[in-house]
Structure 1
Protein backbone atom coordinates (compact mmCIF):
# COMPACT_ATOMS: atom_id res chain seq x y z
CA UNK A 1 0.00 0.00 0.00
CA UNK A 2 2.78 2.42 -0.93
CA UNK A 3 0.30 5.01 -2.13
CA UNK A 4 -1.96 4.84 0.91
CA UNK A 5 -3.44 8.17 1.95
CA UNK A 6 -4.49 9.39 5.37
CA UNK A 7 -8.13 9.95 4.48
CA UNK A 8 -10.52 9.30 7.37
CA UNK A 9 -13.18 8.16 4.91
CA UNK A 10 -13.91 4.61 3.86
CA UNK A 11 -13.20 3.84 0.22
CA UNK A 12 -16.23 2.34 -1.56
CA UNK A 13 -15.35 0.61 -4.84
CA UNK A 14 -17.51 0.69 -7.93
CA UNK A 15 -19.95 -2.19 -8.55
CA UNK A 16 -17.89 -5.21 -9.53
CA UNK A 17 -18.49 -8.29 -11.67
CA UNK A 18 -15.97 -10.31 -9.64
CA UNK A 19 -18.27 -11.74 -6.91
CA UNK A 20 -20.81 -13.19 -9.34
CA UNK A 21 -18.00 -14.40 -11.59
CA UNK A 22 -16.26 -16.18 -8.70
CA UNK A 23 -19.57 -17.69 -7.54
CA UNK A 24 -20.19 -18.99 -11.06
CA UNK A 25 -16.77 -20.63 -11.21
CA UNK A 26 -17.32 -22.25 -7.81
CA UNK A 27 -20.76 -23.50 -8.83
CA UNK A 28 -19.40 -25.10 -12.01
CA UNK A 29 -16.43 -26.61 -10.20
CA UNK A 30 -18.32 -28.05 -7.23
CA UNK A 31 -21.29 -29.20 -9.34
CA UNK A 32 -18.90 -30.99 -11.68
CA UNK A 33 -17.09 -32.50 -8.70
CA UNK A 34 -20.36 -33.95 -7.44
CA UNK A 35 -20.99 -35.38 -10.91
CA UNK A 36 -17.44 -36.78 -10.98
CA UNK A 37 -18.13 -38.68 -7.77
CA UNK A 38 -21.16 -40.17 -9.52
CA UNK A 39 -19.05 -41.33 -12.50
CA UNK A 40 -20.18 -38.83 -15.15
CA UNK A 41 -17.59 -38.82 -17.93
CA UNK A 42 -17.83 -35.07 -18.61
CA UNK A 43 -17.28 -34.12 -14.97
CA UNK A 44 -13.43 -33.89 -14.88
CA UNK A 45 -13.53 -31.35 -17.71
CA UNK A 46 -16.19 -29.39 -15.84
CA UNK A 47 -14.04 -29.31 -12.70
CA UNK A 48 -11.08 -28.04 -14.72
CA UNK A 49 -13.15 -25.35 -16.45
CA UNK A 50 -14.66 -24.16 -13.14
CA UNK A 51 -11.26 -24.08 -11.45
CA UNK A 52 -9.62 -22.15 -14.29
CA UNK A 53 -12.51 -19.68 -14.37
CA UNK A 54 -12.23 -19.16 -10.61
CA UNK A 55 -8.47 -18.59 -10.82
CA UNK A 56 -8.96 -16.19 -13.73
CA UNK A 57 -11.49 -14.22 -11.69
CA UNK A 58 -9.29 -14.11 -8.59
CA UNK A 59 -6.33 -12.92 -10.68
CA UNK A 60 -8.29 -9.90 -11.89
CA UNK A 61 -10.02 -9.32 -8.55
CA UNK A 62 -6.78 -9.17 -6.58
CA UNK A 63 -5.23 -7.16 -9.39
CA UNK A 64 -7.94 -4.52 -9.01
CA UNK A 65 -7.40 -4.42 -5.24
CA UNK A 66 -3.66 -3.97 -5.70
CA UNK A 67 -4.22 -1.17 -8.22
CA UNK A 68 -6.58 0.58 -5.80
CA UNK A 69 -4.06 0.24 -2.99
CA UNK A 70 -1.15 1.52 -5.05
CA UNK A 71 -3.37 4.33 -6.36
CA UNK A 72 -3.73 5.75 -2.86
CA UNK A 73 -7.41 4.92 -2.46
CA UNK A 74 -7.05 2.95 0.80
CA UNK A 75 -6.94 4.85 4.07
CA UNK A 76 -6.75 3.81 7.69
CA UNK A 77 -10.31 2.51 7.80
CA UNK A 78 -9.73 0.15 4.89
CA UNK A 79 -6.47 -1.01 6.47
CA UNK A 80 -8.33 -1.74 9.70
CA UNK A 81 -11.01 -3.63 7.79
CA UNK A 82 -8.40 -5.79 6.06
CA UNK A 83 -6.78 -6.61 9.40
CA UNK A 84 -10.05 -7.70 10.96
CA UNK A 85 -10.96 -9.71 7.86
CA UNK A 86 -7.64 -11.56 7.91
CA UNK A 87 -7.97 -12.17 11.64
CA UNK A 88 -11.41 -13.74 11.25
CA UNK A 89 -10.21 -15.77 8.27
CA UNK A 90 -7.36 -17.23 10.32
CA UNK A 91 -9.82 -17.90 13.15
CA UNK A 92 -11.98 -19.90 10.73
CA UNK A 93 -8.88 -21.89 9.79
CA UNK A 94 -8.23 -22.58 13.47
CA UNK A 95 -11.74 -24.02 13.73
CA UNK A 96 -11.16 -26.03 10.53
CA UNK A 97 -8.06 -27.75 11.90
CA UNK A 98 -9.66 -27.98 15.33
CA UNK A 99 -12.31 -30.26 13.82
CA UNK A 100 -9.67 -32.65 12.47
CA UNK A 101 -7.67 -32.62 15.69
CA UNK A 102 -10.95 -33.27 17.52
CA UNK A 103 -11.68 -36.25 15.26
CA UNK A 104 -8.24 -37.67 16.00
CA UNK A 105 -8.72 -37.12 19.74
CA UNK A 106 -12.14 -38.80 19.68
CA UNK A 107 -10.83 -41.81 17.76
CA UNK A 108 -7.80 -42.30 20.02
CA UNK A 109 -9.07 -41.36 23.46
CA UNK A 110 -12.77 -42.24 23.35
CA UNK A 111 -13.84 -44.61 20.56
CA UNK A 112 -10.71 -46.79 20.77
CA UNK A 113 -11.06 -47.36 24.51
CA UNK A 114 -14.78 -47.99 24.24
CA UNK A 115 -14.18 -50.71 21.65
CA UNK A 116 -11.55 -52.26 23.90
CA UNK A 117 -13.79 -52.29 26.99
CA UNK A 118 -15.48 -55.35 28.49
CA UNK A 119 -18.77 -54.41 26.83
CA UNK A 120 -17.34 -55.33 23.42
CA UNK A 121 -15.23 -58.38 24.35
CA UNK A 122 -17.94 -60.81 23.29
CA UNK A 123 -18.07 -59.25 19.82
CA UNK A 124 -14.32 -58.73 19.27
CA UNK A 125 -12.48 -60.83 21.86
CA UNK A 126 -9.08 -60.36 20.19
CA UNK A 127 -9.28 -56.58 19.83
CA UNK A 128 -6.60 -54.57 21.64
CA UNK A 129 -7.07 -50.83 22.23
CA UNK A 130 -3.66 -49.66 21.02
CA UNK A 131 -2.79 -46.86 18.59
CA UNK A 132 -2.40 -47.07 15.63
CA UNK A 133 -5.25 -49.45 14.99
CA UNK A 134 -6.99 -50.84 11.91
CA UNK A 135 -10.29 -51.44 13.67
CA UNK A 136 -11.83 -54.37 15.58
CA UNK A 137 -12.98 -56.13 12.41
CA UNK A 138 -9.53 -55.77 10.77
CA UNK A 139 -11.08 -54.92 7.43
CA UNK A 140 -8.01 -53.04 6.21
CA UNK A 141 -4.64 -54.49 5.29
CA UNK A 142 -1.55 -54.49 7.44
CA UNK A 143 0.43 -51.25 7.43
CA UNK A 144 3.21 -49.52 9.32
CA UNK A 145 2.72 -46.21 11.10
CA UNK A 146 4.64 -43.09 10.14
CA UNK A 147 7.68 -42.31 12.31
CA UNK A 148 8.93 -38.82 13.22
CA UNK A 149 12.40 -39.36 11.78
CA UNK A 150 13.82 -38.31 9.40
CA UNK A 151 11.40 -36.50 7.05
CA UNK A 152 8.87 -35.05 9.55
CA UNK A 153 11.67 -33.74 11.78
CA UNK A 154 13.48 -32.20 8.81
CA UNK A 155 10.21 -30.62 7.70
CA UNK A 156 9.74 -29.19 11.19
CA UNK A 157 13.18 -27.59 10.98
CA UNK A 158 12.33 -26.21 7.53
CA UNK A 159 9.08 -24.59 8.66
CA UNK A 160 10.58 -23.15 11.84
CA UNK A 161 13.45 -21.74 9.79
CA UNK A 162 10.98 -20.25 7.30
CA UNK A 163 9.22 -18.45 10.14
CA UNK A 164 12.56 -16.95 11.20
CA UNK A 165 13.52 -15.85 7.68
CA UNK A 166 10.07 -14.31 7.18
CA UNK A 167 10.45 -12.31 10.39
CA UNK A 168 13.87 -11.05 9.26
CA UNK A 169 12.35 -10.03 5.92
CA UNK A 170 9.53 -8.17 7.66
CA UNK A 171 11.91 -6.24 9.89
CA UNK A 172 14.05 -5.42 6.87
CA UNK A 173 11.02 -3.96 5.09
CA UNK A 174 10.10 -1.92 8.16
CA UNK A 175 13.66 -0.56 8.18
CA UNK A 176 13.34 0.25 4.45
CA UNK A 177 16.01 -2.28 3.40
CA UNK A 178 14.16 -3.54 0.34
CA UNK A 179 16.89 -5.77 -1.12
CA UNK A 180 17.35 -7.52 2.21
CA UNK A 181 13.60 -7.97 2.55
CA UNK A 182 13.42 -9.49 -0.95
CA UNK A 183 16.30 -11.91 -0.29
CA UNK A 184 14.92 -13.21 3.01
CA UNK A 185 11.39 -13.49 1.67
CA UNK A 186 12.70 -15.52 -1.28
CA UNK A 187 14.50 -17.79 1.20
CA UNK A 188 11.21 -18.26 3.07
CA UNK A 189 9.46 -19.38 -0.11
CA UNK A 190 12.27 -21.81 -0.97
CA UNK A 191 12.01 -23.36 2.51
CA UNK A 192 8.25 -23.72 2.12
CA UNK A 193 8.54 -25.38 -1.28
CA UNK A 194 11.21 -27.71 0.14
CA UNK A 195 8.70 -28.71 2.82
CA UNK A 196 6.14 -29.62 0.16
CA UNK A 197 8.69 -31.61 -1.83
CA UNK A 198 9.63 -33.66 1.23
CA UNK A 199 5.98 -34.19 2.12
CA UNK A 200 5.39 -35.56 -1.36
CA UNK A 201 8.33 -37.92 -0.83
CA UNK A 202 6.84 -38.93 2.54
CA UNK A 203 3.50 -39.79 0.91
CA UNK A 204 5.22 -41.82 -1.78
CA UNK A 205 7.10 -43.72 0.93
CA UNK A 206 3.88 -44.27 2.92
CA UNK A 207 1.93 -45.67 -0.04
CA UNK A 208 4.67 -47.80 -1.58
CA UNK A 209 6.72 -49.02 1.38
CA UNK A 210 4.49 -48.79 4.47
CA UNK A 211 1.20 -49.71 2.76
CA UNK A 212 -0.24 -46.68 4.57
CA UNK A 213 -3.07 -45.13 2.55
CA UNK A 214 -6.26 -43.17 3.06
CA UNK A 215 -8.02 -46.54 3.32
CA UNK A 216 -5.83 -47.68 6.25
CA UNK A 217 -8.53 -47.35 8.86
CA UNK A 218 -8.96 -44.36 11.13
CA UNK A 219 -5.18 -43.95 11.44
CA UNK A 220 -4.65 -43.60 7.70
CA UNK A 221 -7.62 -41.30 7.15
CA UNK A 222 -6.76 -38.91 10.00
CA UNK A 223 -3.06 -38.91 9.10
CA UNK A 224 -3.60 -37.97 5.46
CA UNK A 225 -6.43 -35.51 6.17
CA UNK A 226 -4.43 -33.62 8.78
CA UNK A 227 -1.09 -33.59 6.98
CA UNK A 228 -2.65 -33.25 3.52
CA UNK A 229 -4.77 -30.22 4.39
CA UNK A 230 -1.80 -28.70 6.17
CA UNK A 231 0.30 -29.20 3.05
CA UNK A 232 -2.42 -27.51 1.01
CA UNK A 233 -2.29 -24.54 3.39
CA UNK A 234 1.50 -24.40 3.03
CA UNK A 235 0.93 -24.19 -0.74
CA UNK A 236 -1.61 -21.37 -0.28
CA UNK A 237 0.73 -19.53 2.07
CA UNK A 238 3.61 -19.95 -0.37
CA UNK A 239 1.41 -18.55 -3.14
CA UNK A 240 0.57 -15.51 -1.01
CA UNK A 241 4.22 -14.92 -0.20
CA UNK A 242 5.17 -15.31 -3.87
CA UNK A 243 2.71 -12.58 -4.84
CA UNK A 244 4.12 -10.37 -2.07
CA UNK A 245 7.65 -11.08 -3.34
CA UNK A 246 6.73 -9.98 -6.87
CA UNK A 247 5.17 -6.82 -5.46
CA UNK A 248 8.28 -6.13 -3.39
CA UNK A 249 10.44 -6.47 -6.48
CA UNK A 250 8.14 -4.06 -8.34
CA UNK A 251 8.57 -1.45 -5.63
CA UNK A 252 5.26 -1.84 -3.82
CA UNK A 253 4.89 -1.29 -0.06
CA UNK A 254 6.49 1.22 2.27
CA UNK A 255 7.83 0.76 5.81
CA UNK A 256 4.56 2.21 7.12
CA UNK A 257 2.02 0.58 4.80
CA UNK A 258 2.46 -3.07 3.81
CA UNK A 259 -0.50 -5.02 5.13
CA UNK A 260 -0.43 -7.49 2.23
CA UNK A 261 2.98 -8.56 3.54
CA UNK A 262 1.75 -8.66 7.13
CA UNK A 263 -1.41 -10.61 6.29
CA UNK A 264 0.57 -13.25 4.40
CA UNK A 265 3.05 -13.39 7.28
CA UNK A 266 0.24 -13.95 9.81
CA UNK A 267 -1.04 -16.81 7.71
CA UNK A 268 2.41 -18.36 7.37
CA UNK A 269 3.05 -18.24 11.11
CA UNK A 270 -0.37 -19.82 11.69
CA UNK A 271 0.65 -22.66 9.35
CA UNK A 272 3.87 -23.06 11.35
CA UNK A 273 1.96 -23.37 14.61
CA UNK A 274 -0.44 -25.94 13.17
CA UNK A 275 2.49 -28.03 11.99
CA UNK A 276 4.04 -28.04 15.46
CA UNK A 277 0.77 -29.46 16.81
CA UNK A 278 0.70 -32.04 14.02
CA UNK A 279 4.31 -33.02 14.58
CA UNK A 280 3.72 -33.73 18.27
CA UNK A 281 0.25 -35.31 18.10
CA UNK A 282 0.47 -37.28 14.83
CA UNK A 283 4.10 -38.38 14.72
CA UNK A 284 5.17 -38.66 18.38
CA UNK A 285 2.10 -39.48 20.51
Structure 2
Protein backbone atom coordinates (compact mmCIF):
# COMPACT_ATOMS: atom_id res chain seq x y z
CA UNK A 1 0.00 0.00 0.00
CA UNK A 2 1.12 3.54 -0.74
CA UNK A 3 -0.56 6.84 0.02
CA UNK A 4 0.54 10.33 -1.07
CA UNK A 5 -1.08 13.58 0.04
CA UNK A 6 -0.61 16.40 -2.48
CA UNK A 7 -0.85 20.17 -1.99
CA UNK A 8 -0.36 21.12 -5.61
CA UNK A 9 -0.60 17.78 -7.41
CA UNK A 10 2.63 17.79 -9.42
CA UNK A 11 1.34 15.42 -12.10
CA UNK A 12 -2.05 17.11 -12.43
CA UNK A 13 -2.98 18.34 -15.91
CA UNK A 14 -5.49 20.71 -14.27
CA UNK A 15 -2.70 22.29 -12.21
CA UNK A 16 -0.54 22.69 -15.31
CA UNK A 17 -3.38 24.20 -17.37
CA UNK A 18 -4.39 26.57 -14.54
CA UNK A 19 -1.10 28.44 -14.74
CA UNK A 20 -1.01 28.61 -18.52
CA UNK A 21 2.42 29.81 -19.71
CA UNK A 22 3.20 30.92 -16.13
CA UNK A 23 2.77 27.58 -14.39
CA UNK A 24 4.36 28.87 -11.16
CA UNK A 25 1.42 31.23 -10.61
CA UNK A 26 -1.26 28.55 -10.22
CA UNK A 27 -2.63 28.16 -6.67
CA UNK A 28 -1.37 24.83 -5.26
CA UNK A 29 -4.14 24.73 -2.64
CA UNK A 30 -6.68 24.59 -5.47
CA UNK A 31 -5.14 21.30 -6.64
CA UNK A 32 -5.05 18.85 -3.72
CA UNK A 33 -5.39 15.08 -3.79
CA UNK A 34 -4.97 11.94 -1.75
CA UNK A 35 -3.51 9.14 -3.84
CA UNK A 36 -4.08 5.62 -2.51
CA UNK A 37 -2.78 2.50 -4.19
CA UNK A 38 -3.54 -0.99 -2.85
CA UNK A 39 -1.95 -4.22 -4.04
CA UNK A 40 -2.49 -7.80 -2.93
CA UNK A 41 -4.96 -10.66 -2.70
CA UNK A 42 -7.92 -8.32 -2.12
CA UNK A 43 -7.35 -6.84 -5.58
CA UNK A 44 -5.69 -3.72 -6.90
CA UNK A 45 -7.30 -0.36 -6.11
CA UNK A 46 -6.26 3.15 -7.15
CA UNK A 47 -7.71 6.52 -6.13
CA UNK A 48 -6.48 10.03 -6.90
CA UNK A 49 -9.40 12.46 -7.05
CA UNK A 50 -8.17 16.03 -7.22
CA UNK A 51 -10.15 18.60 -5.25
CA UNK A 52 -10.24 22.37 -5.28
CA UNK A 53 -9.71 24.79 -2.43
CA UNK A 54 -13.28 24.60 -1.11
CA UNK A 55 -12.74 20.90 -0.34
CA UNK A 56 -9.44 21.47 1.47
CA UNK A 57 -8.54 22.51 5.01
CA UNK A 58 -5.15 22.28 6.67
CA UNK A 59 -3.38 23.28 9.87
CA UNK A 60 -0.22 22.27 11.72
CA UNK A 61 -1.77 18.94 12.80
CA UNK A 62 -4.42 18.18 10.18
CA UNK A 63 -4.92 18.07 6.42
CA UNK A 64 -8.47 17.52 5.13
CA UNK A 65 -9.18 16.75 1.47
CA UNK A 66 -12.90 16.19 0.90
CA UNK A 67 -13.97 12.97 2.67
CA UNK A 68 -10.41 12.08 3.70
CA UNK A 69 -7.97 13.50 6.22
CA UNK A 70 -4.52 13.13 7.77
CA UNK A 71 -4.12 13.93 11.47
CA UNK A 72 -0.95 14.01 13.60
CA UNK A 73 -1.71 13.43 17.30
CA UNK A 74 1.82 13.90 18.58
CA UNK A 75 2.70 10.20 18.51
CA UNK A 76 1.27 8.80 15.29
CA UNK A 77 -0.17 9.80 11.93
CA UNK A 78 -3.80 8.80 11.34
CA UNK A 79 -5.04 8.68 7.75
CA UNK A 80 -8.80 8.23 7.28
CA UNK A 81 -10.19 7.96 3.77
CA UNK A 82 -13.41 7.32 1.88
CA UNK A 83 -12.64 7.54 -1.82
CA UNK A 84 -13.85 6.05 -5.11
CA UNK A 85 -11.32 4.16 -7.19
CA UNK A 86 -10.63 4.70 -10.89
CA UNK A 87 -10.96 3.69 -13.66
CA UNK A 88 -13.24 1.00 -12.14
CA UNK A 89 -15.47 2.85 -9.62
CA UNK A 90 -14.96 0.83 -6.43
CA UNK A 91 -15.02 2.26 -2.93
CA UNK A 92 -11.80 2.49 -0.93
CA UNK A 93 -12.62 3.22 2.69
CA UNK A 94 -10.71 2.71 5.92
CA UNK A 95 -8.00 4.03 8.16
CA UNK A 96 -4.25 3.74 8.48
CA UNK A 97 -2.08 4.62 11.44
CA UNK A 98 1.67 5.13 11.13
CA UNK A 99 3.76 4.86 14.30
CA UNK A 100 7.26 6.35 13.87
CA UNK A 101 10.11 4.71 15.74
CA UNK A 102 11.75 8.14 15.63
CA UNK A 103 11.35 11.38 13.70
CA UNK A 104 14.09 12.44 11.29
CA UNK A 105 15.27 15.96 10.41
CA UNK A 106 17.30 15.02 7.33
CA UNK A 107 16.52 17.21 4.28
CA UNK A 108 18.50 17.51 1.05
CA UNK A 109 18.15 19.06 -2.41
CA UNK A 110 17.38 16.78 -5.32
CA UNK A 111 18.54 19.29 -7.92
CA UNK A 112 21.66 21.43 -8.20
CA UNK A 113 19.67 24.66 -7.82
CA UNK A 114 18.07 23.64 -4.52
CA UNK A 115 14.52 24.21 -5.77
CA UNK A 116 13.38 20.63 -5.11
CA UNK A 117 13.85 19.04 -1.70
CA UNK A 118 13.32 15.64 -0.14
CA UNK A 119 13.29 14.66 3.50
CA UNK A 120 12.16 11.50 5.28
CA UNK A 121 9.90 12.29 8.23
CA UNK A 122 9.66 8.79 9.72
CA UNK A 123 11.68 6.41 7.55
CA UNK A 124 11.48 3.59 10.10
CA UNK A 125 7.88 3.12 11.18
CA UNK A 126 5.17 0.59 11.94
CA UNK A 127 1.86 0.69 10.09
CA UNK A 128 -1.57 -0.57 11.08
CA UNK A 129 -4.09 -0.86 8.24
CA UNK A 130 -7.81 -1.40 8.77
CA UNK A 131 -9.94 -1.23 5.63
CA UNK A 132 -13.71 -1.50 5.38
CA UNK A 133 -13.69 -1.67 1.58
CA UNK A 134 -12.04 -3.91 0.60
CA UNK A 135 -12.32 -5.63 3.99
CA UNK A 136 -8.70 -6.38 4.95
CA UNK A 137 -6.39 -5.73 7.88
CA UNK A 138 -2.67 -6.00 8.34
CA UNK A 139 0.34 -4.42 10.02
CA UNK A 140 4.00 -4.18 9.15
CA UNK A 141 6.89 -1.89 8.20
CA UNK A 142 6.20 1.62 6.91
CA UNK A 143 8.10 4.57 5.52
CA UNK A 144 7.00 8.23 5.54
CA UNK A 145 8.71 11.09 3.69
CA UNK A 146 8.09 14.50 2.15
CA UNK A 147 8.89 16.22 -1.14
CA UNK A 148 8.50 19.91 -1.96
CA UNK A 149 9.41 22.14 -4.85
CA UNK A 150 9.40 25.78 -5.99
CA UNK A 151 8.80 25.10 -9.69
CA UNK A 152 7.23 22.45 -11.95
CA UNK A 153 8.97 19.11 -11.49
CA UNK A 154 9.79 18.66 -15.17
CA UNK A 155 12.06 21.74 -15.37
CA UNK A 156 15.32 20.46 -13.85
CA UNK A 157 14.93 16.68 -14.15
CA UNK A 158 15.08 14.24 -17.00
CA UNK A 159 14.49 11.07 -14.99
CA UNK A 160 15.26 9.34 -11.73
CA UNK A 161 15.27 5.93 -10.11
CA UNK A 162 14.42 5.78 -6.41
CA UNK A 163 14.54 2.78 -4.12
CA UNK A 164 13.84 2.04 -0.46
CA UNK A 165 14.78 -1.12 1.40
CA UNK A 166 14.22 -2.28 4.97
CA UNK A 167 17.48 -3.75 6.26
CA UNK A 168 17.88 -6.73 8.60
CA UNK A 169 18.34 -4.48 11.66
CA UNK A 170 15.14 -2.54 10.89
CA UNK A 171 16.90 0.51 9.45
CA UNK A 172 15.91 1.91 6.06
CA UNK A 173 18.26 2.50 3.12
CA UNK A 174 17.25 4.90 0.35
CA UNK A 175 18.93 5.65 -2.97
CA UNK A 176 17.89 8.61 -5.14
CA UNK A 177 19.57 8.24 -8.55
CA UNK A 178 18.75 11.53 -10.32
CA UNK A 179 19.56 12.53 -13.91
CA UNK A 180 19.22 16.27 -14.41
CA UNK A 181 18.70 17.98 -17.74
CA UNK A 182 21.71 20.28 -17.44
CA UNK A 183 23.85 19.68 -14.36
CA UNK A 184 24.67 15.99 -14.55
CA UNK A 185 23.74 13.19 -12.19
CA UNK A 186 23.06 13.42 -8.47
CA UNK A 187 23.15 10.29 -6.34
CA UNK A 188 21.89 10.41 -2.75
CA UNK A 189 22.43 7.28 -0.66
CA UNK A 190 21.38 7.41 2.99
CA UNK A 191 20.72 4.86 5.71
CA UNK A 192 18.17 5.92 8.34
CA UNK A 193 18.63 4.31 11.74
CA UNK A 194 15.97 3.47 14.31
CA UNK A 195 16.89 6.44 16.52
CA UNK A 196 16.34 8.96 13.70
CA UNK A 197 20.03 9.42 12.87
CA UNK A 198 21.45 9.00 9.36
CA UNK A 199 24.53 7.52 7.71
CA UNK A 200 25.64 8.25 4.15
CA UNK A 201 26.97 5.34 2.10
CA UNK A 202 28.38 4.85 -1.36
CA UNK A 203 25.73 3.62 -3.76
CA UNK A 204 26.70 0.47 -5.67
CA UNK A 205 26.91 0.45 -9.48
CA UNK A 206 23.87 0.80 -11.73
CA UNK A 207 22.41 -2.23 -13.44
CA UNK A 208 19.78 -1.99 -16.20
CA UNK A 209 16.41 -3.60 -15.55
CA UNK A 210 13.92 -4.82 -18.17
CA UNK A 211 11.97 -2.00 -19.79
CA UNK A 212 8.30 -1.66 -18.92
CA UNK A 213 5.38 -2.18 -21.29
CA UNK A 214 5.37 1.60 -21.81
CA UNK A 215 9.07 1.38 -22.75
CA UNK A 216 10.46 3.07 -19.65
CA UNK A 217 14.07 2.10 -19.07
CA UNK A 218 14.67 1.28 -15.41
CA UNK A 219 17.95 0.89 -13.55
CA UNK A 220 18.80 -0.38 -10.09
CA UNK A 221 21.97 0.03 -8.05
CA UNK A 222 23.16 -3.33 -6.78
CA UNK A 223 26.39 -4.78 -5.44
CA UNK A 224 28.66 -6.67 -7.83
CA UNK A 225 27.79 -10.33 -7.93
CA UNK A 226 24.15 -9.77 -6.93
CA UNK A 227 22.01 -9.29 -10.05
CA UNK A 228 19.01 -6.99 -9.66
CA UNK A 229 15.76 -8.83 -10.39
CA UNK A 230 12.30 -7.33 -10.83
CA UNK A 231 10.03 -9.45 -8.65
CA UNK A 232 6.83 -7.56 -9.48
CA UNK A 233 5.81 -4.46 -11.41
CA UNK A 234 3.02 -2.76 -9.47
CA UNK A 235 2.44 0.31 -11.65
CA UNK A 236 3.26 0.67 -15.34
CA UNK A 237 2.31 4.03 -16.84
CA UNK A 238 3.64 6.20 -19.70
CA UNK A 239 5.91 8.17 -17.33
CA UNK A 240 6.13 6.24 -14.07
CA UNK A 241 6.78 2.69 -12.89
CA UNK A 242 6.64 1.22 -9.38
CA UNK A 243 8.20 -2.19 -8.82
CA UNK A 244 9.51 -4.61 -6.23
CA UNK A 245 13.17 -5.35 -6.98
CA UNK A 246 15.61 -7.77 -5.35
CA UNK A 247 19.23 -6.58 -5.20
CA UNK A 248 22.39 -6.44 -3.12
CA UNK A 249 22.85 -3.53 -0.72
CA UNK A 250 25.25 -2.97 2.19
CA UNK A 251 26.19 -6.63 2.30
CA UNK A 252 22.60 -7.90 2.31
CA UNK A 253 20.17 -9.24 -0.27
CA UNK A 254 17.12 -6.99 0.00
CA UNK A 255 13.78 -6.45 -1.71
CA UNK A 256 13.17 -2.76 -2.38
CA UNK A 257 10.26 -0.63 -3.38
CA UNK A 258 11.58 0.88 -6.61
CA UNK A 259 10.24 3.79 -8.65
CA UNK A 260 11.26 5.20 -12.02
CA UNK A 261 10.09 8.61 -13.23
CA UNK A 262 10.54 9.84 -16.80
CA UNK A 263 9.75 13.56 -16.57
CA UNK A 264 9.70 14.68 -20.25
CA UNK A 265 6.69 12.42 -20.82
CA UNK A 266 4.65 14.08 -18.07
CA UNK A 267 4.24 17.28 -20.06
CA UNK A 268 3.35 15.71 -23.43
CA UNK A 269 -0.17 16.44 -24.66
CA UNK A 270 -1.19 12.75 -25.08
CA UNK A 271 -0.21 11.98 -21.48
CA UNK A 272 -1.99 15.04 -20.10
CA UNK A 273 -5.13 14.08 -22.00
CA UNK A 274 -4.96 10.53 -20.58
CA UNK A 275 -4.36 11.55 -16.96
CA UNK A 276 -7.96 12.62 -16.14
CA UNK A 277 -8.94 8.95 -16.46
CA UNK A 278 -6.70 8.22 -13.47
CA UNK A 279 -7.00 11.65 -11.79
CA UNK A 280 -10.60 12.96 -11.95
CA UNK A 281 -11.29 16.38 -10.46
CA UNK A 282 -13.96 17.91 -8.26
CA UNK A 283 -13.64 21.71 -8.31
Higher helix content, 1 or 2: 1
Q: Give TM-score scaled by structure 2 length.
A: 0.24
- Larger-gyration structure (1/2): 1
